[in-house]
């Protein structure tokens, strides 16, 4: 399968899954003509369905449809053998009815069992297009084709989206949601940006250490804060100084400091004198 087609089919099956609740394995109702077409053109039906629907599949055949194959006789034995490998779908038609009518009744008006229909009958395909959410598969020149979504399918999908007021689907979603989801994104971006938070943090980090240093020497605390309100390193040095001072004398003043320095000088000078004396 070409990539372009594979992508289109993937999108389409996503639509059926998201908007209409289709789940794997997809239940595929195969009609008698499809079985014939598959054996005539030697298509591996299950494998082809698998790649077209892009997922696990469960092929099914109704009692009426397999009965049609029995009526064709031995010439169509390969088609009968193929159909026998499928799961039998009970349709409860006591007397077998034409395959198209049987499938129409099994799908019903809403396709509530979420069947995919693989049929070579053109009239049946036309009929199924009027029912929302019926994926239709047929074989064209030994190539299996998944029909684009019918108008009924698209209309129902759009209607249900409007009703729910929330967006789902594929193409429509991206178009519709671009206008509704972008504004909230912008709002979210707003509060994330501004710097004031980082500024506040700085203020907070400065205050707690100032309190700690204030313990036991309340007089000096304000002085330190005034000297270096912002820079942390310098303050630490000051504190080291101050703690030295406080160990020596709790009440400090410049005069006392100068006196002490003088005393130290004298003490340092004394030993030299003694040496000179002796």
Chain residues that interact with Zn ion, rule: CB under 5 A: 62, 64, 91, 93, 102
Nearer to Zn ion by Cβ, of 28 and 102: the residue is 102
Q: Minimum CB separation from Zn ion for residue 63, in Å? A: 5
Write the DSSP symbol of residue 42.
T
81-to-36, 76, 141, 142 alpha-carbon distances in Å: 11, 9, 22, 19
Q: Minimum CB separation from Zn ion for residue 116, in Å? A: 18
Of the CA atoms within 13 Å of residue 181, those in its CB half-sphere come to 9
Nearer to Zn ion by Cβ, of 64 and 134: the residue is 64
Q: How big is the CA angle at 127 (ends 123 and 131), to the nearest 5 degrees? A: 160
Q: Minimum CB separation from Zn ion for residue 106, in Å? A: 7
- Residue that is written with structure tokens 């504190």 in the block: 239
Long-range pairs for 129-133: beta carbons < 8 A, 24 or more residues apart: 131/107, 132/20, 132/156, 132/157, 133/16, 133/19, 133/20, 133/22, 133/157
Nearer to Zn ion by Cβ, of 16 and 86: the residue is 86
Nearer to Zn ion by Cβ, of 29 and 102: the residue is 102
Whole-angstrom distance, CA of residue 191 vs CA of residue 48: 53
Q: Minimum CB separation from Zn ion for residue 104, in Å? A: 10
Nearer to Zn ion by Cβ, of 104 and 170: the residue is 104
Q: Minimum CB separation from Zn ion for residue 150, in Å? A: 23
């Amino acid at each position: 399968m070409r990539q372009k087609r594979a992508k289109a089919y993937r999108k389409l099956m996503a639509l059926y899954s998201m908007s209409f609740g289709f789940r794997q394995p997809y239940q595929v109702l195969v009609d008698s003509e499809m079985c014939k077409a598959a054996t005539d053109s030697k298509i591996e039906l299950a494998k082809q369905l698998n790649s077209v629907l892009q997922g696990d599949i469960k092929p099914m055949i109704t009692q009426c449809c397999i009965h049609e194959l029995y009526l064709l006789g031995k010439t169509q034995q390969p088609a009968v053998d193929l159909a026998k490998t499928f799961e039998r779908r009970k349709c409860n038609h006591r007397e077998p009815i034409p395959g198209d009518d049987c499938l129409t009744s099994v799908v019903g008006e809403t396709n509530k069992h979420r069947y995919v229909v693989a049929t070579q009958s053109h009239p049946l395909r036309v009929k199924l297009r009027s029912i929302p959410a019926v994926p239709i598969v047929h074989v064209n020149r030994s190539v299996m084709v998944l029909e684009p979504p019918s108008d009924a399918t698209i209309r129902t999908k759009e209607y249900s989206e409007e009703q729910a007021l929330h967006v789902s689907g594929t193409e429509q979603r991206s178009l519709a949601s671009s206008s509704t989801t972008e504004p909230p994104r912008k709002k979210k971006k707003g509060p994330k940006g501004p710097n004031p938070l980082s500024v506040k943090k700085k203020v907070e980090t400065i205050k707690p250490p100032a309190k700690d240093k204030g313990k036991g020497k309340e007089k000096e605390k304000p002085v330190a804060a005034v000297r270096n309100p912002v820079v942390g390193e310098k303050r630490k040095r000051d504190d080291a100084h101050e703690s030295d001072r406080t160990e020596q004398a709790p009440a400090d003043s410049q005069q006392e400091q100068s006196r002490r320095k003088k005393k130290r000088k004298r003490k340092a000078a004394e030993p030299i004198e003694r040496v000179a004396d002796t």
